[in-house]
Amino acid sequence: MLMAPFRNMTIGFFLLLAVAGAPIGQDNSSTKCPTISVTGPAGVISRPELVVFIASIENANDSLKYLWSVSGGIVVTGQGTPKIEA
């Protein structure tokens, strides 16, 4: 059975956020740095179950681009969005 080698496989992920036109070195006390958090499943997930990761960004502008990278699996849906299934 092909699924057996994937049991208890750990999936690592990497999220790259690109901001177009972001001011560099701006001295403005009202400008807050973005706060980034990623939520996903806790513990070990048995394959072939899909897992969902969701990025949440506070204090960010609308020009964000999402680029997800997964080790030990593949991005099935959602590349370029804040939510993926892997």
Q: How do residues 4-49 score in pLDDT, each as one tens digit?
A: 444 444 556 666 666 555 555 555 556 678 888 999 988 877 777 8
Segment 55-66 shows an average pLDDT of 84
Q: Say if residue 54's pLDDT is above 50.
A: yes
7-11, 27-31, 55-59, 71-75: least confident range: 7-11
User: What pLDDT is recorded for position 81?
Assistant: 93
Beta strand 83-85 with 52-58: parallel, antiparallel or unpaired?
antiparallel
> Each residue of 23-32: b (16+ CB within 10 Å) or e?
eeeeeeeeee
Segment 58-80 shows an average pLDDT of 87
Nearest to 14 by CA among 77, 72, 57, 60: 72
Segment 44-69 shows an average pLDDT of 85
Name residues whose C-beta falls within 8 Å of residue 45's C-beta, 6 or more positions apart in sequence: 9, 11, 51
Q: Say if residue 66's pLDDT is above 80.
A: yes
